[in-house]
Amino acid sequence: MRTPVFTGTCPALVTPFDQNGNINYDAFGRLIDAQIAAGVDAVCVCGTTGESATMSIREHIAAVEYCVKRVDHRVKVIAGTGSNDTSAAVYLTQHAQDSGADAALLVTPYYNKASQTGLVKHYEYIAERTELPLILYNVPSRTGVSFTAETYKILSANPKINGVKEASGNFSLLAHTRFLCGDDFYIWSGNDDQVVPMMALGAKGVISVVSNIAPEVMVKMSHLCLDGSFEAASQLQIQYMDLIDALFCEVNPIPVKAAMNLMGMEAGPLRLPLCDISDKNLAVLRASMERMGLLK
C-alpha cells in the first residue's frame, strides 16, 4: 500500500513579487520559514496561489529550486508542474524531481477540455517519465474539465499516482471516489471552507490558501480531524468561515495577497491579468481580519 505524500496541512504558497515584478526571494524565504515554524506538514510551490500561470519557465524552475533548498528537508515540498501541454508538464515534473521536490501537483489540462480518456493518457504519459509521486488536481471552475470517479479508479491503479487535490466542491464525486478507490488513493481538500466535511469522508488534509496568513488555524483544524476530533474541528471550521469567505471574495490569490500585504508580509503586487482587490472588498477583508485578530 502506498503512503500519502503528507497528512494535515500544506500551504499553497503565494509567490511574493517586488515592485519591479520580480520574485522577491527574501520575502519568499520568510514565508516558507514562518509556515514551517507554525507546524505545517508540507508546502506547495508554484501552484495557482503562487501565480504559476504568469510565471516563465525559467522563473518556475528557479522558484522550485529555491523552495527545495530553503525547506532543506524540514517538511515535504510539492511542486506545481501541471500544464495544458503534456510535454511541458513532463519537463516541469522532471525538473522538480531533479531539484529534489518530494511530489508534483498536476492540474487537469486547462482550455483543451480533454476527455476522460485524454486525462488518463495525459497522466499516465507523465507518470511513465518521472519517479516522483503525482498528485492530481481537480478544479473544474478554472479548467473547464472534471475527473469522474471512474477515471480516478483507473488512475489509482498507477503506483506513481498518489491521489488528488479535490477542489470541485462535489461531495458526491468525493463519496463515489472513496467507494471505488478505497484507501489506496488519497484525497486532499482544495477548498478551505470544506476541510472538515471532506476529511470526515476520508480526505487526508488540505492544500490551503488560508494557511498563508493563518497557518496555526489550518494545522489545528486538519490535525483535529486526523485525530478523529471532528466536533472540535467543526467548531474551528465554522469560527473561521467569515475569514475564509473574505479570502475568496475575489479570485484567488487577489485577496490573500492583499491580506498578506496588510499584515506586512511583503507579498507584493499581482501580475496581470490579475489586478488589485477593489476598495469595497478590501474593506470587507480588513474587517474580517480585524475580527479574527490578524490586524491590530
pLDDT tens digits for range 160-187: 999 999 999 999 999 999 999 999 899 9
Q: Are 97 and 133 in contact (CB under 8 A)?
A: no
Where in 153-257 does DSSP place strands (E)? 161-166, 186-189, 205-208
pLDDT of res. 183: 92
Residues pairing with 79 in the sheet? 45, 104
pTM: 0.96
Class of domain 8-248: alpha beta
pLDDT of residue 10: 98
Q: How many CB atoms lie within 10 A of CB 115?
A: 11
Residue with grid cell 495577497, as numbered in its chain: 257
Is 12 a residue whose pLDDT tops 90?
yes
Q: For 202-232, give the DSSP string.
A: T--EEEESGGGT-HHHHHHHHHHHHTT-HHH
Q: Which of 283, 279, 277 is nearest to 256 (CA)?
A: 277
pLDDT of residue 138: 98
Query: How confident is the model over 24-32, as a mean pLDDT?
Result: 98
Candidate list 123, 137, 186, 240, residue with the active-site label: 137
- Catalytic residue flag (residue 240): no
pLDDT digit string (tens) for 41-75? 999 999 999 999 999 999 999 999 999 999 999 99
- pLDDT above 90: residue 231: yes
Active site residue 165: yes
- Average per-residue pLDDT in the chain? 97
Catalytic residue, candidates 165, 204, 220, 257: 165
Place of cell 483543451: 112
**Percent of the chain clearing pLDDT 70 (strictly above):** 100
**pLDDT tier at 296, thresholds 50, 70, 90:** confident
* pLDDT digits 0-9 by tens, 99-155: 999 999 999 999 999 999 999 999 999 999 999 999 999 999 999 999 999 999 999
Q: Could you tell me the CA-to-CA distances from 42 to 2, 171, 186, 228, 281 in Å, in that order?
A: 18, 25, 15, 21, 30
Instruction: Please tell me the predicted confidence (pLDDT) of residue 1.
Output: 72
Domain residues of the chain, as ranges?
8-248
Across the range 222-250, mean pLDDT stands at: 98
Distance CA(295)–CA(61), nearest Å, equals: 34
